[in-house]
Amino acid sequence: MTSLASPAGAVRKPWPFAALLAELWNDKAAVAGLSVIVLLLLAALLAPWIAPYDPAAQSIASRLTPPAWLPRGNLEHLLGTDQLGRDVLSRVLYGSRASLLVGVSVVTLAGSFGVVLGLLAGFNGGRVEAMIMRLVDVQVAFPGLLLILLVISVVGPGMGTLIVVLACTNWMIYARMVRAIVLGVRQSPYVEAAEMIGCTAGRVIFRHVLPNLTSPLITLGILEFTNIMLAEAAMSFLGLGIQPPATSWGLDVANGRDYVFVAWWLVTFPGLAIAATVLAINLFANWLRVTTDPQEREKRFARAMAAERRRRRRSR
Amino acid sequence: MAIFILRRIAQGLLVILGVSLVVFVATRLIGDPVKVMLPLSATDTQRAAFEHQLGLDLSLPRQLVDYVGSLIRFDFGDSLWQRRPAMEVVFERLPNTLLLITCSLGCAIMLALPLGAIAALRPGGIADRVTVFGGLFGLSLPQFWLGLLLILVFAVIFKVLPTSGGGSLAHYVLPAVTLGIPSLARLMMLARSSMIDELNQQYIRTARAKGLDFRQVMIGHALRNILSAFITLAGWEFISGLAGYTVVVETVFAWPGLGLTALQAIQRSDLFLLQAIVFTVAVLIVAINVGLDVAQKLIDPRINLA
Amino acid sequence: MDMRNEAPLLEIDGLEVEFDTRRGVVRGLRGVDLKIGRGETLAIVGESGSGKSVTAQAVMGLIDVPGRIARGDIRWMGQSLVDDPKGDGRGVRGKEIALVFQDPMTSLNPLMKVGTQIAEVLTRHLGMGDEEARIRVLELLEAVGIPAPPRRAAQYPHELSGGMRQRVMIAMAIACEPKLLIADEPTTALDVTIQAQVLELIAGLQETLKLSVLMITHDLGVVAGLCDRIAVMYAGRIVETGFADEIFERPEHPYTQGLIRSTPRLDDRTERLTAIDGSPPNMLVPPAGCAFRPRCPVAGPDCEIEPPLVTTLPGKSVACWRSGTPAWPAPTGHIAAEVRTSPSELPDVRPILRVRDLGVDYEASTPGFWGRMRKISALKGVSFDVFPGETLGLVGESGSGKSTIGRAVLRRLEASEGRIFFKGRDITDLKGEALRQTRREMQLIFQDPYASLNPRMRVLDIVAEPLIVHGLIRKAEEGREEIGELLRLVGLPKDAHDRLPYAFSGGQRQRIGIARALALKPDFIVADEPVSALDVSVRAQVVNLLQDLQQELGISYLFIAHDLSVVRHISHRVAILYSGRMVEIADRETLYRSPCHPYTEALLSAVPVPHPATQRARKRLVYRGDIPDVAHWPSGCHFHGRCPLADQRCSIEVPRLTERSPGHWVACWHK
């Protein structure tokens, strides 16, 4: 590291892509997570082509068919049907679209708003900062979900309402993080150096400060995505989110709730889809968080080595 | 100390002000309470009478004044659904919710601290990896689904626990577990990560160099020093339970608490009851926050009294 | 002092410590042998990464993941501490061997009263009851010179000053009357005058408690006054060990020779410091053979085999095939000191920078319901000139306001009073574009070579940025040639252009920072502690570079530092600051030979000289008390609380700078 002769110094990108993949491969949980994420994305994109049925198509004749591997089940409905004879597999595939759409829109909206306010606070300081951060403090202490319920009950439920309301109540964490990073970086000597050599404010911001935000924002965005997904599912479950005839995993669990004693598959599969997706994202984000932080990354390696040594000692 | 508490309370009043503003805007400006609350078949005269009864025919500033007045008196009018003062309903249901949260969070705290601390002893070891995976798993379960699964398994298949409702101690088990699992996961992860950070501190090396035994280093120094962060998160878990998660859990288990009442109020378009619930919860949150700040101050002498 | 026939207390035998990193195994210690006898004081001297602290940690059982003891043994009175089934250090650690760490800020538990932290040791090792321990704690605090022990014992670490905290650490260490005290850079984080207090305390305790001391330090001065024997470490091995006087008088290993020569001395001034080229090796791939070979001027083919540590004289061992060969040219004499007279003494020279009555306030919130902002004055009434081609050294301890002056002069901080003239023009109120243009002619060199370069930018982009933002070139590539010239000027390799900062060592990074500062061809540079983060051997390189650049380009420096030896070496004139006021300013020789202000005297006497005989003979003035906190300055002369000459007037009236002899200004009522 200290020697100029080290070949690593000549490489511009600190971590070449192949090495990164190799490192990912070492964490099997993260690999599993990433695979599930890819599958989910494919399912959402290709739902119209891969789903065996129209998710809304009812068929009274084949209502409450159990999954294929159960005695009364058949191969036409792999995961069975609901009380109206709708194919559960198709509904699960289509349901991924709602989760993704709400998640991505809310993270984008709340993220942009929070980042802008965080930047304003971090760069301006003084009164602007005090006002923005006070707003954040106050809103963080709001009775979140209850207030959302109140607003939705007045405005009327729907996907648009849901997105707007969730964005309005989830921007604060971005603002806090962005401000903290901006303040930290602005204190750093290299930013002072940039100002000393006469960089304009814009150059300082874009060239020296903002690049530090990328990787923490990506990690935060991913984690927030899972929170939004769970919130969307919960709201839809309560009947205040996605409205029929559209599909959503939370909505499907609510539909199956009354049949939980006779048809367990109705609540199980959509719920499983939510849990698996969130878990997959969490596992991957956990890996990503460590990997983008050089110090954590070094620690992770050292711990793995120490565990390896302990294992060898024990087996000897 | 008194000044410190006063200041936090002032900040809390700001929160309550914000909440009431949102409620006012939502109910009077965006929505039309008359349309929401009366059935579609109501005649125009009925609507006008109702509007007059609620004071909605007055000018907006006048409405605002009345509204603030009712806030100060803690009087939110009668619940349309229950036909009695909204606050009465709130006070009847609130204890159930508080008991449920206290039970579930109490268990979560007692489990999270030792589990997180054990995981932190050997980061990367088996206990740690199990804890991290378990934590991430716990965070990934949607509560409404977890609750239904638990009912399915313990009430329908094994028939060992009641499916829903309140009353006996057995009724507490499933809702408390459902409500507590994500909290447990978050608290455990926090205990783990802050314990790892703490064990890497220089003063822990000092304690070890002093020749203190393992128990003294772990409990006397490290564990004691993560308490402040841990208590803060535990307080937040209580708040988020109060402010939302209970709605879902109480709905699944038909638990006669504030959350279920809130949902029923929405379904019956009972805006006054909903308002009363939102306010009560906001006031509670502010109180808990002040309590948390004071607790932190007591634990950590470095926090400035101002 | 002869302990050759006595069994040693501590014996380290072929100790190897390795660290697992993503890039491979870093070899922290590569076979260390060491013995410490009863009542002996041994110093391990080395630069960062030499393994000196790792050795101490290994003894205390503090090697954690990713490190591990790979081979070797540590024995305490014959008992192995490495092969320790219960892992508790056999009740030795903390009781018979005690440790004092470098940083007293982080080494104490922030949430526990200091008295309790000391009492813990007593209950653990001596089985004392609470009351007994409480009384003993007070005795201990008294013994380490903490005033009002009952009050202090009930306080938390953040309520104590740095020096006070280090005293608490020492009280904790001596609580069980240990046989061996390991002090890991115990004074590095402290100010010079406080360092003198702590060193005196350790020396005193050693005497009364018959302690053995293992002192770990990078500072040869600290070693000189205190230690019987010295072990010099380089790249994870001991390269030379022997009696202190011997080593300082006749260093045999080329590295030891270089280390002693590259350390500037307070009492002696050579024209040019001996600099050891290059930087310590990367311990991921230690060079084959002698680790010092790549930097050694007398290395030959035989050095490709690692030399063993062999005894050359009684009590002296060296690991070098050419031990005793003079490796560096003899220092050029002291005559040069007089040759480079300060330009300020020449007639008709206008100062490039003129500062008059400069004051800087900052705002802090006060306790209270509304938390009003209160003005706290960090600097007051400071006046000085800097002449073209001259270096003005600005010296002070923490809180003296020396960095504040640097930032105010560059207009990074707003002056709340006074005027600043640059090249005859008042720049105190310049704003916007005018300020930006003025700053082309004045630049800043930073203390921290790691944090002052944007880790995401190539060296070429870093050095080209000033040229780009001032419109001299449009793209970094256009300036490749010009920047290559700059990099050559500061002594960086040709292929440095396209690398990222992390590929460079601390000294090289500092050179990149200097190249960036030079890009706009400034006439005046503020150097804010430019060498204090660097290792001794690298420090000399950078000091020499700064001097060469001055000779070549005629730049004026405002050289801010806390190290009086370095300042003496590089400056023409020196100003001493204390708690936000300038107390004395004079040309170098006057100030160092006949200081006038009592604080200057104390400061100079507190600086240890890296030469045992000289250091022992020096008269030391150690004044009690702490440096006042910025927020709570005393009235009158800020030094009056610690000053032996102070009378009532000093505590009321602020003394102004007055001229005692031409060019020598002092702010004191008495001298």
Chain A contact residues (CB < 8 Å to C): 1-4, 6, 8-10, 12, 14, 188-190, 192-200, 203, 207-208, 211, 297-299, 301-303, 305-306, 309
Structure confidence at residue C366 (pLDDT)? 56
- Residues of chain A with Cβ-Cβ distance to B152 below 8 Å are 260, 264, 267
pLDDT digits (tens, 9 = 90+) for C547-570: 999 998 999 999 999 889 899 989
Structure confidence at residue C85 (pLDDT)? 62
Structure confidence at residue C15 (pLDDT)? 94
pLDDT digits (tens, 9 = 90+) for C238-252: 999 999 999 998 999
Shortest distance, CA B259 to any CA of chain C (angstroms): 37
**Mean pLDDT of all residues in chain A?**
84
Inter-chain touch B144–A237, beta carbons under 8 Å: yes
- Residues of chain C with Cβ-Cβ distance to B299 below 8 Å are 111
Q: Which of C218, C239, C215 is nearest to C228 (CA)?
A: C215
Instruction: Please count the residues of chain C.
Output: 671
Confidence tier at C187 by pLDDT (50, 70, 90): confident
Inter-chain touch A304–B139, beta carbons under 8 Å: no
pLDDT at A147 over 50: yes
Shortest distance, CA A295 to any CA of chain C (angstroms): 11
Q: Give the count of beta carbons closer than 10 Å to the beta carbon of residue A19.
A: 12
Burial of residue A57 (CB within 10 Å: 0-12, 13-18, 19+) is exposed
Report the alpha-carbon distance of residue C379 to residue C630 in Å, rounded. Answer: 9
pLDDT at B139 over 70: yes
Q: Which of C48, C84, C80, C62 is nearest to C17 (CA)?
A: C62
A95-302 falls under which CATH superfamily? MetI-like (1.10.3720.10)
Structure confidence at residue A280 (pLDDT)? 94
A210-219, B228-237, C263-272: range with lowest mean pLDDT: C263-272
C351-355, C611-615, C618-622: range with lowest mean pLDDT: C618-622
B146 lies in some domain: yes
Report the alpha-carbon distance of residue A287 to residue B96 in Å, rounded. Answer: 40
Structure confidence at residue C392 (pLDDT)? 94
Select the more confidently predicted residue: A59 or C257: C257
Element (H, E) at C233: strand C229-234
Inter-chain touch B225–C110, beta carbons under 8 Å: yes
Mean pLDDT of B223-231: 90
pLDDT digits (tens, 9 = 90+) for C52-98: 999 999 998 888 878 889 999 999 988 888 877 666 666 888 889 99
Q: What is the token pair recorded at C48?
A: 């960062």
Inter-chain touch A10–C499, beta carbons under 8 Å: yes
Burial of residue C641 (CB within 10 Å: 0-12, 13-18, 19+) is middle
- Residues of chain C with Cβ-Cβ distance to B225 below 8 Å are 109-111
Range of the domain at B267: 93-271+287-299
Inter-chain touch C109–B205, beta carbons under 8 Å: no
> Strand pairing partners for C664?
C661
pLDDT digits (tens, 9 = 90+) for B141-196: 999 999 999 988 888 888 888 877 777 778 888 999 999 999 999 999 999 999 99
- Residues of chain C with Cβ-Cβ distance to B206 below 8 Å are 99, 101, 107-109, 169, 172
| Contacts for C240 with CB less than 8 Å, ≥ 6 apart | C230, C231, C232, C247, C251, C252, C253, C255, C256, C316, C317, C318, C319, C320, C323
B14 lies in some domain: no
pLDDT at A205 over 90: no
pTM of the model: 0.86
pLDDT digits (tens, 9 = 90+) for C99-111: 998 887 889 999 9
**Mean pLDDT of all residues in chain C?**
87
CATH code of the domain in which B232 resides? 1.10.3720.10
- Closest in A154, A238, A257 to B26, CB measured: A154
pLDDT at C117 over 50: yes
Shortest distance, CA C2 to any CA of chain B (angstroms): 30
Shortest distance, CA A225 to any CA of chain B (angstroms): 12
Secondary structure of residue C127 in the 3-state scheme: coil
Confidence tier at C131 by pLDDT (50, 70, 90): very high
A119 touches B232 (CB < 8 A): no
Torsion of CA C493, C495, C500, C506, to 10 degrees: -10
Mean pLDDT of A233-261: 87
Inter-chain touch A194–C496, beta carbons under 8 Å: no
Secondary structure of residue C377 in the 3-state scheme: strand
Mean pLDDT of A93-111: 92
C53 touches C17 (CB < 8 A): no
Structure confidence at residue C339 (pLDDT)? 39
Instruction: Identify the structural domains of chain C with CATH numbers, from first to last.
Output: 1-96+179-333 (3.40.50.300), 105-175 (no CATH), 337-441+522-666 (3.40.50.300)
pLDDT digits (tens, 9 = 90+) for A73-82: 788 888 888 8
Q: What is the token pair recorded at A107?
A: 């993270």
Report the alpha-carbon distance of residue A47 to residue A60 in Å, rounded. Answer: 23
Give Dmax (Cα) for chain C: 78
Q: What is the token pair recorded at B181?
A: 């699992």
Chain A neighbors (3+ CB pairs < 8 Å): B, C
B4 lies in some domain: no
Helices B60-72 + B2-24 axis angle, to 10: 140
Rank A120-134, C211-225, C331-345 by mean pLDDT and report only the highest: C211-225
Report the alpha-carbon distance of residue C74 to residue C82 in Å, rounded. Answer: 6
Inter-chain touch C466–A305, beta carbons under 8 Å: no
Domains of chain A, residue spans: 95-302
Structure confidence at residue C356 (pLDDT)? 92
Q: How many CA atoms lie within 13 A of C429 on its CB side?
A: 2
A to B CB pairs, distance under 8 Å: 156
Sheet strand arrangement including C353-365: C373-386, C353-365, C417-422, C425-426
Return residues 246-285 of B near C (CB < 8 Å): none
Report the alpha-carbon distance of residue C539 to residue C262 in Å, rounded. Answer: 8
Q: Which of C510, C516, C407, C514 is nearest to C466 (CA)?
A: C516
Structure confidence at residue B268 (pLDDT)? 81
pLDDT at C573 over 50: yes
Burial of residue C255 (CB within 10 Å: 0-12, 13-18, 19+) is buried
Report the alpha-carbon distance of residue A36 to residue A277 in Å, rounded. Answer: 7
Q: What share of chain B is helix, strand, coil (3-state, %, to 5)?
A: 80, 0, 20
Report strand pairing: C24-36 vs C10-21: antiparallel
Inter-chain touch B202–C106, beta carbons under 8 Å: yes
Q: Which of C240, C210, C218, C242 is nearest to C229 (CA)?
A: C242
pLDDT at B2 over 80: no
Shortest distance, CA B31 to any CA of chain A (angstroms): 5
- Closest in B132, B143, B285 to A141, CB measured: B285
Q: At which residue do the structure tokens 């994500």 appear? A: B182
Confidence tier at A316 by pLDDT (50, 70, 90): low
Q: What is the token pair recorded at C606?
A: 């507190």
pLDDT at C47 over 50: yes
Q: Give the count of beta carbons closer than 10 Å to the beta carbon of residue B202.
A: 16
pLDDT digits (tens, 9 = 90+) for A248-280: 899 989 888 888 888 888 888 999 999 999 999
Residue C359 phi, psi dihedral angles, 5° rounding:
-135, 145
DSSP C148: S
pLDDT at C355 over 80: yes
- Residues of chain A with Cβ-Cβ distance to B15 below 8 Å are 138, 141-142
Sheet strand arrangement including C10-21: C24-36, C10-21, C67-76, C79-80
Report the alpha-carbon distance of residue B237 to residue B182 in Å, rounded. Answer: 9
Secondary structure of residue C60 in the 3-state scheme: coil
Confidence tier at C628 by pLDDT (50, 70, 90): confident
Number of domains in chain B: 1
Q: What is the token pair recorded at C453?
A: 């370069």
Return residues 59-78 of B near A (CB < 8 Å): none
Helices then strands, each counted (H, E), chain B? 14, 0
Q: Which of C374, B13, B237 is nearest to A134 (CA)?
A: B13
B113 lies in some domain: yes
Structure confidence at residue B30 (pLDDT)? 65
Inter-chain touch C91–B211, beta carbons under 8 Å: yes
Q: Cis link prior to C286 (omega < 30° from 0)?
A: no
Helices A126-140 + A172-187 axis angle, to 10: 140
Secondary structure of residue A31 in the 3-state scheme: helix
- Closest in A12, A188, A305 to C66, CB measured: A305
pLDDT at C414 over 70: yes
Report the alpha-carbon distance of residue A43 to residue C228 in Å, rounded. Answer: 76
B200 lies in some domain: yes
Inter-chain touch B240–A144, beta carbons under 8 Å: yes
Between CA A273 and CA A280, with CA A274 as vertex, the angle to 5 degrees is: 90
Residue type, C663: G
Q: At which residue do the structure tokens 């303040």 appear? A: A183
pLDDT digits (tens, 9 = 90+) for C420-430: 999 989 998 88
B to C CB pairs, distance under 8 Å: 89
Element (H, E) at A245: none
Please give the C-alpha separations between residue A217 and each of A20, A178, B112, B193, B203, in angstroms, as whole numbers.
Answer: 19, 8, 28, 20, 32
Q: Which residue of C has its CA nearest to A297?
A: C22
Structure confidence at residue B57 (pLDDT)? 73
C62 shares contact with chain B (CB less than 8 Å): yes
Inter-chain touch C469–A10, beta carbons under 8 Å: no
Q: What is the token pair recorded at A204?
A: 């300082």
Report the alpha-carbon distance of residue A239 to residue C544 in Å, rounded. Answer: 76
Secondary structure of residue C462 in the 3-state scheme: helix
| Contacts for A296 with CB less than 8 Å, ≥ 6 apart | A289, A290
Q: Which of C267, C277, C235, C256 is nearest to C508 (CA)?
A: C277
- Closest in C106, C365, C369 to B7, CB measured: C369
Please give the C-alpha separations between residue C536 and each of A271, C246, C256, in angstroms, as whole numbers.
Answer: 64, 21, 12
pLDDT at B62 over 50: yes
C365 shares contact with chain A (CB less than 8 Å): no
A123-127, C172-176, C250-254, C438-442: range with lowest mean pLDDT: A123-127
A167-176, B3-12, B90-99, C439-448: range with lowest mean pLDDT: B3-12
Shortest distance, CA C628 to any CA of chain A (angstroms): 26
Mean pLDDT of A30-36: 91
- Residues of chain A with Cβ-Cβ distance to C471 below 8 Å are none
